[in-house]
Amino acid sequence: NGNKPLNGTTAIVTAGPTIEHIDPVRYISNHSSGKMGIAIAEALADAGANVQLVLGPTSQQTSHTGITTIKVQTAQEMFEAVTTRFPHAGIVVAAAAVADYRPANVADRKIKKGEAQLHIDLEKTPDILRSLGDSKGPQQLLVGFSLETNNEKEYALKKLREKHLDLIVMNSLADAGAGFNYDTNKVTLFDKNGQERSFPLKSKQEVAQDIVSAIIELQHA
Ligand code: PMT
C-alpha cells in the first residue's frame, strides 16, 4: 500500500531495560519489559514506516514485518546502535528505560562475599536522547518518554525542553496499571508547541496508536 502516512520514513524505537554489569554474574537493571516500545514499533510499522527496534534484554519480541530488531544489553551498546543509525532516521521514539548509572569498573572475576558492606562506584551512562537532541536536523522528529514517581509534569516539561524533543510521553508509577510490565498504560502527551493531551488508562497498543497519531500530526504541522 503506497498510501500509508509513514511510507518512506525510517523510524528508530528504543525499548526495554538495559543491564549494566557488576561482575561476570551480576548486573544492575530495572523493571522494563519492552512492551510499550514494541507496541510503538508495531504501530509505526502499521503506518508504513521502516522500523529499527533497538531492544534491551527482555523475553518480549515482535514478528511484525517491517520491523528489524537490534538486540543490545548495556546503555553504551544502545547508544552506539541508535547513534550510528540516526543520520538515516526521520523519527526516533525513546521508550527504553536506560540505566542512568553503571559500575565504574566491571570486575573480571566474581566478587566474593566478605565485609558487611560492599561499595560499588557508579558513573553516568551516555544520555542517548540528549545526544540526539543536540545533533538533530530540522526534519528529524524526536519523541521521548518521562517516567517518574512524583513532580511528573514539571520533570516531563524539563526533559522536553532540555533534550530538544518534539514530543514527550509522560507516564507515572503513581497511576494504577501504568508503567512497567503492565499491558496497559496511562499517558499525557506534551509537544514542543505547548499542546497537552491526557488519555485514560488504555492497552499499550492503543496508547501506541495515540502516540503515532500525534507524531503524524506534528509532521504535518
Ligand atoms: O517496557 P514496559 O514494561 O512496557 O514499560 C514501559 C516504560 C515504563 C519503560 C515506558 O513507558 C517509559 O516510561 N520509558 C522511559 C523510562 C525512563 O527511563 O524514563 P526517564 O524519564 O528516566 O528518561 C527520559 C527519556 O530519556 C526516555 O525517553 C529515555 O529513553 C531517555 N534516556 C534516558 C537515559 C539515558 N541514558 N538515555 C536515554 O535516552
Q: Among 32, 165, 181, 202, which is best to mutate for testing ligand 1, by the most ligand atoms less than 8 A from CB?
A: 32
**145's grid cell:** 518518554
Task: Please report the pLDDT score of residue 1 as a whole number.
Answer: 56
Encode pLDDT of 154-185 as tens digits: 999 999 999 999 999 999 999 999 999 999 99
Domain 10-102+122-220 has CATH 3.20.20.70: no
**Do β-strands 196-198 and 188-191 pair in parallel, antiparallel, or remain unpaired?**
antiparallel
Instruction: Give the pTM.
Output: 0.97
Query: Is 177 exposed, middle or buried, given 0-12, 13-18 or 19+ CB atoms closer than 10 A?
Result: exposed
* Mean pLDDT, residues 67-90 taken together: 98
Task: Please report the pLDDT score of residue 103 as a whole number.
Answer: 98
- Find the 178 Cα to ligand 1 centroid distance in Å: 13
> Is the CB of 180 within 6 Å of ligand 1?
yes
pLDDT band at 221 (very low <50, low <70, confident <90, very high): confident
Q: Among 145, 160, 204, which is best to mutate for testing ligand 1, by the most ligand atoms less than 8 A from CB?
A: 145
Encode pLDDT of 37-57 as tens digits: 999 999 999 999 999 999 999
* Mean pLDDT, residues 103-129 taken together: 96
Marked catalytic residue, from 1, 3, 30, 50: 30
Encode pLDDT of 174-214 as tens digits: 999 999 999 999 999 999 999 999 999 999 999 999 999 99
> Is the CB of 162 within 6 Å of ligand 1?
no
171: helix, coil or strand?
strand
Tell me the longest C-alpha to C-alpha distance in the chain: 65
> Which residue is closest in CA terms to ligand 1's atom 18?
97
- Find the 207 Cα to ligand 1 centroid distance in Å: 15
* Mean pLDDT, residues 61-82 taken together: 97
**24's grid cell:** 561476570
Amino acid identity of 116? A
> Is the CB of 72 within 6 Å of ligand 1?
no
Annotated active-site residue 30? The verdict is: yes
Task: Please report the pLDDT score of residue 80 as a whole number.
Answer: 98
129 CA: nearest ligand 1 atom: 39
Amino acid identity of 15? A
Encode pLDDT of 126-147 as tens digits: 999 999 999 999 999 999 999 9
Q: Binding site: what residues are annotated?
A: 100, 110, 126-129, 145, 159, 163
Q: Average pLDDT over the chain, rounded to whole?
A: 97
* Mean pLDDT, residues 6-34 taken together: 98
